Amino acid sequence: MCGIIGYRGEREAQPVILSGLKKLEYRGYDSAGVAIIGDEGLGIEKMEGKIAQLEDALVKSPKSGKVGIGHTRWATHGEPNDVNAHPHQGCTDRYGLVHNGIIENHRRLRKELESRDHEFSSDTDTEVLIHLIEEQEGSLEEKVRAALGEVDGTFAIAVVDADTPGKIVGARRGSPLVVGSTDDEQFIASDVPAILDYTKEIIYLEDNQIVSLAGSGIEITDFEGGEAEATTRTIDWDPVAAQKEGYKHFMLKEINEQPQAVGDTLRGRGFTDGGLKMDEGELREKDVAKAEKIFIVACGTSYYAGRVAKYVWEEYLDIPIEVEIGSEFRYRNPPLDENSLVVGVSQSGETADTLAGLEKSREADATIASVVNVLGSTVTRRSDAVLYTHAGPEIGVASTKAFTSQLVALSLLGLEIARMKGKVTVSEAKKAAGKLSRAPGLLQEQLENVDRIKELAEVFYEKDDFLFLGRDVLYPVALEGALKLKEISYIHAEGYPAGELKHGPIALIDENMPVVALITKNSVYDKVYSNIEEVRARKGKIIVFTDELTEDTKSIADELIHLPRADKVLTPLIFTVPLQLLAYQVAVLRGTDVDQPRNLAKSVTVE
């Protein structure tokens, strides 16, 4: 997820663009740049680093002009550096383009363009767009329309052309883009906060629309060139609220971004005869085929994602899969050697204990793959192969969209490992991966439970303890649900395998102990049910989340949330969202700092 902005009007464009980029920094902050059309043509300044560093550079070398675009980046293709920063140019220095989204067919387009003597300067997917545009004929709008007709994937773009100095052209498909205007100026941006200081009348572009900002005003057309309508709204948010798109907290915004985050993580990824393509590095078949054991190394929520993966991977892998907490793994003497496959899981890619576990693995000549959300982060540089989650920046300390994105990325990685070990064929891997395509829709459905979850929270938010129970693939989901609740509401909460109750925790059960029971119709359904009956017999308050709505589950529950049933690989995703919402609603009622809970940091880069 990146932030783009454009301005044309009577003011100097640079300060407008910089102030807008600062309001978009929550969308990405690993590099930034501007392109401004002045008397000497197009002036570009772009660099790795935060917007403040770009601002310092522009103080030394200001770009004068009243038309320009800007970008703040969250890298998805091409690590953060000066060359990969936007705006991008093509073969000439005439154009500047900024982009938010993922171009799925960028490799093929790049090959075709290079065969037509286009020379590329960056490793990004974005750069293909400006090379396509500069090949076209006609007006800037016509060039953009023709070029985007070649593109698969998602985009929100803004383009300037030094030979058409008074104009900015934008377009969107699958990534947000808004425009605004006053009497003599127009604005375009990824999101409202960037332009809210100048106008509250916001036009939300729809998918497959092209917008032209010119002296004559704003013109919106569709991809066939016909006139198009778009929604105009009067925004009464303050800029900070607008960064959360009206949500009260970044955590709630990010919970609601999960369909998009998981969709983006799955987008453009599939099994060809050559298997699943890694984003960086290479998972060598011979290394994986010889692996006699797998270690998944992670911390916190990422560790729970690894625990879920173990259950899913054991469906088709028959070698030991150990899921290890980084801080323990790094100091033990695990049986690591050149026949070990180690998988690091990390949202930030900077967690010290996970990194130490990977370094230990490297010293033992293990093969290392990683699932990471931040491009170019340290974990990726300690790995032979990387599969990125495309969850975008996760601002809330409590991990939500990164977790569900990790679940689908790990499912794909597990299938590739099984394919390399000859446990599944490419077509079996394709079929299994195809089940994941339902994930965004199922996640969206669970977000509609919010009112019922609020009711639940109102009943239980003053409790001092919670127990979360699950079996099989829902046991790590119970652990994650307990972590979400404890880390943002400060209520003591524990996740337990339901079968362990009689080995101790049942002593905790009384009428003051809410027990969250995760029950799915699988091979251990009856076992979980009888565990919950034990709780019922001791007057525990039982909150059942289940995909099996029967007289049994209704009779055993004090509160029941009915969830859709789906394939095992999707069940953790379905059950996680209501637990995230429960933790969030309880924390809001308890008045804690949801986005920055006490004592916690977003990335634990020290031991």
Tell me the catalytic residues: 2, 602
Beta bridge partner(s), residue 38: 41
Least spacing, CB of residue 587 vs ligand AGP, in Å: 12
SS3 545: strand
Count Cβ atoms below 10 Å from residue 301 Cβ, excluding itself.
Answer: 21
Residue 311 or 584: the one with the smaller Cβ distance to ligand AGP is 584
Pairing state between β 3-8 and 185-189 = antiparallel
Q: Applying CB under 6 A, does 399 fall inside the site for ligand AGP?
A: yes
Least spacing, CB of residue 187 vs ligand AGP, in Å: 35
Residue 122 or 603: the one with the smaller Cβ distance to ligand AGP is 603
- Return the residue of 398, 417, 439, 513 that touches ligand AGP, per CB under 6 A: 398
Q: Applying CB under 6 A, does 348 fall inside the site for ligand AGP?
A: yes
Count Cβ atoms below 10 Å from residue 365 Cβ, excluding itself.
Answer: 12
SS3 511: coil
- Return the residue of 36, 67, 235, 299 that touches ligand AGP, per CB under 6 A: 299
Separation CA 541–CA 515 (nearest Å): 6
* Number of residues this chain uses to bind ligand AGP (CB under 6 A): 15
Q: Applying CB under 6 A, does 404 fall inside the site for ligand AGP?
A: no
- Return the residue of 170, 180, 263, 300 that touches ligand AGP, per CB under 6 A: 300
Residue closest to 575 by CA, chosen among 586, 584, 566:
566
Residue located via tokens 């409202």: 192
Site string for ligand AGP, 485-514 (x = CB under 6 A): --x---------------------------
Least spacing, CB of residue 582 vs ligand AGP, in Å: 14
Residue 528 or 581: the one with the smaller Cβ distance to ligand AGP is 581
- Return the residue of 186, 243, 354, 576 that touches ligand AGP, per CB under 6 A: 354
Q: Which residues between 127 and 166 bind ligand AGP (CB under 6 A)?
A: none
Q: Which residues between 535 and 574 bind ligand AGP (CB under 6 A)?
A: none
Residue 216 corresponds to which tokens in the numbers above?
């004559």
Residue 24 or 345: the one with the smaller Cβ distance to ligand AGP is 345
Residue closest to 130 by CA, chosen among 94, 167, 174:
94
- Return the residue of 14, 31, 347, 580 that touches ligand AGP, per CB under 6 A: 347
Residue located via tokens 């026949």: 339
Question: Which contiguous run of DSSP H or E holds residue 512?
Answer: none
Q: Which segments of 255-375 are extended strands (E)?
A: 271-272, 275-276, 280-281, 293-298, 321-325, 340-346, 367-372
Q: Applying CB under 6 A, does 301 fall inside the site for ligand AGP?
A: yes
Angle, in degrees to the nearest 10, between helices 127-135 and 106-115: 50
Least spacing, CB of residue 398 vs ligand AGP, in Å: 4
Residue 271 corresponds to which tokens in the numbers above?
């099994």
> Do residues 396 and 250 lie in contact, with contact meaning Cβ atoms separated by under 8 Å?
yes
Residue 93 corresponds to which tokens in the numbers above?
């220095």
Q: Which stretch binds ligand AGP (CB under 6 A): 103-111, 345-353, 429-437, 531-539?
A: 345-353
Residue 472 or 480: the one with the smaller Cβ distance to ligand AGP is 480
Q: Which residues here bind ligand AGP, judged by CB under 6 A?
A: 299-302, 346-348, 351, 354, 397-399, 487, 603-604
